[in-house]
Amino acid sequence: MTADQRKVPQPAVGQPAAGETATGLAAGGSHAAARAVVVGILAAMAGLMFGLDTGVIAGALGFIGDEFHAAARTQEWIVSSMMAAAALGSVVAGRISFRLGRRRALLAASLLFVVGSGLCALAPSVAVLIVGRVLLGLAVGIAAFAAPLYISEISQESVRGAMISFYQLMVTLGIFLAYVTDSLLAYGGHWRWMLGLMAVPAALFCAACLFLPDSPRWLMMRGEWSRASQVMRLLRVSPVEADAEIRDIAQELKRGGSNGLAFFRSNPNFRRSVLLGVALQVMQQVTGINVLMYYAPKIFQAAHFGVSAATWATALIGLVNMAATGLAIAFIDRWGRRPLLVLSCAIMTAAMLMAGGLAAIGGESTLILGGMVVALLLFVAGFAIGAGPMVWTLCSEIQPLRGRDFGIACSTFTNWAANWLVSNIFLSVMAALGQSWTFWLFAIMNGVFILITLVYVPETRGVSLEEIEARLMAGRRLRDLGR
């Protein structure tokens, strides 16, 4: 037995620890399962903040443009400044998460959410508003990195997909709440209230972070094996199960080797998992989802909707997005990641083809306008059942423990960099190509996403993170990492 193994409790497999009855274990197990769910939900509040700050700008942008006389290009920078900062935040998050822990990274994000929301609400100029958006972007980048990573590391494999998808459900809930708030405040043009109200849930998220335990996997990476064992026992149904998982993690850590960039350079198998994560995040952004989320009212107005109708149609998009994500949570650990991702991309492809066709026909008839709403709602539903939650789930599952912070930092940075690029040029592209060709371009991208999924994406349902890592390091094909 090695020195490392002696630090970990070694109860006999299948036997309760001394003094523990079967009834006591059952009761303790149910409490531990509930505790793990609560911890995951608290961490998923990062997604709520992500969604609120993503969705709120859609309703506020028009009023901001009017007050500050901001041209379309300036409005693109107001929107995209958060994305650019989020890309930077995701890189910073890797270092914070590795050195200080996932929990402290989430706490740092919550503080930035509070400050950024207040600054945006009080902004006397576009420049100050952009500074506030940059702070929110840093918060979103850190939260989008740390929350799925943390949830994946504290969840059991049997419910891991659902728990990470719950983070995405909170994102959609935040977007929906932001849209509803925008719709209610739009009648008076109260854009400062739209942005300022975000500070309230940010403060609640900050308080929630104080009650989160550190990730057992991170603790073991730092050499704190005893604390890791204690936390794992709080989050697993039985001590036997907790100790077995601790031993699996220890086994992976014994493989040794370099971390981060050095590991990426030296290990071709790690490079494969990083590049797959990067590709998934690029494809998620070029589906066109965030363009719709940021600019939905402008898209509807371009399709001849009135201002009020466009605002409420946007709120309906948020509701459908949230409802469909709920379906994804219900089926992700039953059907698996790959089937939902393929179905998702197929629905989005059809929806964008339909939207492009309706835009090409044009007109203001009820049939055309209604069809456009149906097409965009179908697109959002398609994204929410697959491309939204599955990409974040897969990116948090496929990276080996020694390089997990680096790998997820790369994919999260790519997500926000692609998000920034798409959001920064969308209004200009739509003006150059027209609405119909813009939608058709997104349809092509979704078709490409189907091919990438079929060729490269693994099915990770019900497989432990340690098993996925072992298969990756053994050189298996990417799509065979799960089964």
Q: What is the DSSP string of 8-68?
A: S--PPTT-PPTT--HHHHHHHHHHHHHHHHHHHHHHHHHHHHHHHHHHHHHHHHHHHHHHH
pLDDT value, residue 30: 65
* 3 state DSSP class of 70: coil
Global confidence as pTM: 0.73
Q: Torsion angle of alpha carbons 417, 92, 86, 317, nearest 10°?
A: 100
Tokens standing for residue 283: 């494809």
Q: Please work out, in degrees rounded to the nearest 5, the angle formed at the alpha carbon of residue 90 by the alpha carbons of 470 and 127.
A: 170
**Contact between residue 130 and residue 78 where contact means Cβ atoms under 8 Å apart:** yes
Tokens of 196: 């300022």
What pLDDT does 152 receive? 87
CA dist 121 and 166 (Å) reads 29
Provide the token pair at 476. 């298996």
Q: How many Å apart are CA 285 and CA 303, to the nearest integer?
A: 23
Four-point Cα dihedral 169, 174, 178, 179, nearest 10: 0
Which residue, chain included where needed, has tokens 């550190």?
214
Helices H / strands E in the chain, number of each: 21, 0
Q: What are phi and psi of 242, to 5 degrees?
A: -60, -45
Q: State residue 132's pLDDT score.
A: 95
What pLDDT is recorded for position 131? 95
Q: Average pLDDT for consecutive 10-residue bins of the chain (483 residues)?
A: 42 41 48 79 89 82 85 81 86 87 93 94 93 94 90 83 84 85 82 90 92 91 89 87 87 70 89 95 86 64 63 76 86 87 95 90 77 86 90 88 86 84 75 84 93 93 88 92 81
- Within 10 A of 44 (CB to CB), how many other CB atoms are there? 26
Q: What is the pLDDT of residue 308?
A: 63
- CA distance linking residue 40 with residue 42, whole number of Å: 5
Contact 142, 89 (CB under 8 A): yes
- Looking at residue 112, its pLDDT comes to 95
| pLDDT for residue 18 | 42
Q: CA gyration radius for the chain?
A: 23
